[in-house]
Structure 1
Amino acid sequence: MFRKIIPFCQCFCGPEDKDTDESWGSSGHYLDAVECLTAGRFEEAKRLLLICLELDGNDVNVLWRLGQVYGAKDDLETAKIHLTTAVGIDPDNFSVRLELGIVSHRKGDLHDAEFQLTRAASLNPQSLDLWLRLGALYLDARKLKKAIRAHLKVIELDSQNEVAFFMLGYVYHEMGQDNKAVQNYLQAIDLKSDYADALLNLAVCYQERRDKKRDLQKALDFYERALAVDSGLEDAAVAAAAIREYLENKKKKPGGGGKKSPLQRTFSKRL
């Protein structure tokens, strides 16, 4: 069972260049709308932004914020309409390009998402969030080498970014490069010792390694560490129990570890 998570910024709090909002301080409705958006009061934010849009239909910031509001409400079609309008007015607006890429990715339009996010990367190549999102997009598109390059770019910008190491571990595991997967998961855990998803995935990696280095005791250790962080990890609990039983039976019956099928059926990575 795979559980999709986005372990990085949801981009509701504003652009990386905060001067953008401050320059629009003359609009009380706009600033109130931004405050509502940040607080998660999306209906009120929408109401205020629509008032602003009536006053100026070409206000890029208002269109961008409306895109965020509708995206937060899962109305992706309307979000994309507002963001596309904003891009037509200001093609070089990084925040709008980034948001449009996010919405396109959520809609499943991977081609447009890649176009928008790569364009955003050309406008602001120092954005960590941009590269993390681009890496996640490439993973979904099965462009695994590009996914690796995107996450390596994050590490180039921030060598302490545990999410980038986690994602690299995931990509290398998908590619069957277990040694690199282990190295990157370990790096993520070194940076964040209670990183439950990394602990779980590292356990899975030790359990199913394809390079003749399968280590069930290490797998069990990391499953137990993951459970210590998050006791609700059902996959980890099932896998740990199966491995524990297998190892105990192996001690009782040298040369035979009992049933193999539970070990082949219990593991599950999380992204």
Structure 2
Amino acid sequence: MIPTRILAILVVSAILPACATTKPVPIANTPRNHAYIADSRAMYLFSQARISTIEGDYEGALALLRAAAESDPQGVYIHTSMAGVYLKMNNLPAALEECENAIGIDPKNFQAHQLAGNILAAMKRDKEAAEQFKQAIEINDKKEELYLHLAVSYVKSFEYEEAVNILKKLIAVAPDNAFGYYYLGKAYDQMKLHRESPQYYRKAIELKPDFDQARIDLAVSLESQGLTGEAIAAYRELLEENPKNSSISQHLIQLLIQQRRLEDALTLLKKFDENNLMGLETKRKIGLINLELERYDEAISIFETILKQEPEAHQIRYYIGNAYEEKGNRDQAIAEYSKIPPTAFNYFEAVGHIAFLYRDKGDVEFAISYLKEIISRRPERLEPYLFLSGIYESQNRFKDGLAILTGIEAKFPDDPALQFRLGVLFDKQGEKHESIARMKRVLALTPDDPQALNYLGYTYAEMGESLEEGLQLLKKANSIRPDDGFIMDSLGWIYFKLKKYDDAIIYLEKAYEIVDDDATIMSHLADAYAAKRDYKHALELFRRVLKLDSENHYAAEKIRKIKMETGEK
């Protein structure tokens, strides 16, 4: 059976013989477009093709359009229509080819360039898409959407400066175009020029007050600049207008958590939980915040509620174990960790907790035998070996720990965690140079490991050797983890060893601000003040050390010497 629309081709050929044999008369010698159709046969076929397209008969439409193109070879409108049909069939290469045919006939055809640009963008050929949009703008520079398309193509091909230039042209042509300002803000954010973007987001919002995405991106941009108060205010304003927007809420909650405003985050999460928004994820976050706030019973209750709905949520089980462990209920913690099956992703984390909990209960030998049993069942995993060496280390059985780890080096030759643990144990055994060699091995495998950088740098400081090398290692560690108080302490201590006491005090004070209950950090800072002959601060700090550790002989001796030197009784 011949499709109805195909029959139309034969019918038209029969009833319009003149059209089939006579050349169409060009109008002003211009290529055909929809405004200039001189070939009535082609026009009839084109109109039938449109009907076929509406009816969903795309193959029939294409057959009619091909016949129309034979009748009117210069008909640009026919090729752009064929491109549209191919797009409906999701045949992008064929659609692009028809656009190219149209452009070949009429290089100044605005529609063909715009359509080609859209197709190329969909094919992720962004540089070529940008070129088509540029040509379309040259033909018609009043079409606002073209500037947006071109800018997006530039952004996708990482040509941010070009995107900015185009968007500035757009807002010059169309100063009330909210999207132009919005994408200008986005482009600056992509360029990491966060200080530039807020003004454009604000202008977009002024022009389009219901532009929620611009308001969200404004808040994110403010957050990126560290303008936490403004960002939180922006998120809260958005939430007041749309209290059920989970995306905004998650941004705000995460920001509050980062700022350690846990009570505020908890209040917001509880509102979400009451409205059953975000489901179990809300409960999980409520549980974790309660865990952080040391409200262990509340955390356990929430986590158990989650487990009733998702019995296989092994991470939740792990959190329950954490809560009991922090409460000091070791037996219940062991019971919870033991429910995590060997197939779970966090099984070996649970194994480590179980072993050290038995050690803390005084069952050291049971902890050792437990880990050896795990090793016998899973010898291919490194974790239980590391845990076992840690148990030995905690009992000052460094040789036993080293024997375990050196015995598996051939099995795990390039594992940085193994080399790090070996370095620690050799250090504890008093073999400093072997420890240094192991830490250097870690850094050869993972050059940006902040723990290894810190350990090696601090070792040099303690030994009084290679201090300049140690300083560089510790500066690098600090750049990777700028908020780590222990790395800050190491950096201050190596400055102390270099006799750069002012620098030492700067970093040691920062370390003490971050970690205010560590006797070693206090002692280091006290030593730095004493070296500057600031005995008042030094004595105050050494006395705090003794409050933390009444058996700290170093602090007691330092206090005695300072009193002798100052004549203080």
Same fold (TM over 0.5): yes
Alpha-carbon deviations, 1:52-86, whole Å to 9, x = none? 33122432111112212322443211111111111
Aligned: 1:165 with 2:181: yes
Aligned pairs (5 A) from 1:59-138: 59-138=75-154
- Correspondence 1:1-271 to 2 at 5 A: 21-24=34-37, 27-31=43-47, 41=54, 43-44=56-57, 47-48=60-61, 50-57=63-70, 58=73, 59-209=75-225, 215-224=230-239, 227=242, 231=244, 233-243=245-255, 246-247=260-261, 249=263
Number of equivalenced pairs: 229
1:32 Cα deviation (Å)? 6.3
**Structure whose alpha-carbon radius of gyration is higher:** 2
Moved over 4 A (4+): 31-37
How far the C-alpha of 1:45 sits from its partner, in A, is 6.4
Residue identity matched to 1:145? E
TM-aligned CA distance change 1:208 to 1:225, over 3 Å: farther
TM-score normalised per structure 1 = 0.72
1:87-140 Cα deviation digits (max 9, x unpaired): 112122111011112111211222322222222222222221211110110010
Task: Report the AA paired with residue 56 of structure 1.
Answer: A
Taking a change above 3 Å as real, the CA distance of residues 224 and 61 of structure 1, as seen in their structure-2 partners, is: same
What is aligned with 2:419?
none
Q: CA deviation at 1:184?
A: 0.7
Q: Output the TM-score relative to the length of structure 2.
A: 0.36
Cα distance in 1 between the residues matched to 2:238 and 2:223: 10
Residues 42 and 73, structure 1, Cα contact 8 Å, conserved in 2: no
Q: Which of structures 1 and 2 has the larger relative contact order (alpha carbons within 8 angstroms, sep 6+)?
A: 1
1:23, distance to aligned residue in structure 2 (A): 3.7
**C-alpha distance in structure 2 between counterparts of 1:184 and 1:33, whole Å:** 46
Which residue identity is paired with 2:250? V
Distance (whole Å) between structure 1 residues aligned to residue 167 and residue 241 of structure 2 = 24
Q: How large is the RMSD of aligned CA atoms in angstroms?
A: 3.2
Q: Is the 8 A contact 1:200 1:226 kept in 2?
A: no
> Offset at 1:147?
0.3
Deviations 1:16-55 (A, max 9, x none): xxxx534449524535656887xxx483466435413312
CA distance, structure 1, for counterparts of residue 51 and residue 192 of structure 2 = 46
Cα distance in 1 for partners of 2:198, 2:139 equals: 34
Is the CA contact 2:179–2:204 (under 8 Å) kept in the aligned structure 1?
yes
Partner of 1:265: none
> Which amino acid counterpart does residue 236 of structure 2 have in structure 1?
D
Unmatched 5+ stretches in structure 1: 1-19, 252-257, 260-271
User: Could you tell me how far apart the structure 2 residues matched to 1:236 and 1:42 are?
Assistant: 43
Change (3 A) 1:64 1:128: same
Kindly indicate whether the alpha-carbon contact (under 8 Å) linking 2:83 and 2:94 is maintained by their aligned counterparts in 1.
yes
Whole-angstrom CA distance in 1 between matches of 2:109 and 2:143: 14
Partner secondary structure for residue 21 of structure 1? coil
Which stretch shows the higher mean deviation, 182-191 or 26-35? 26-35
Tell me the secondary structure at the aligned position of residue 56 of structure 1.
helix
Instruction: Give, in whole Å, the separation in 2 of the partners of 1:136 and 1:81.
Output: 23
Q: Which is helix-richer, 1 or 2?
A: 2
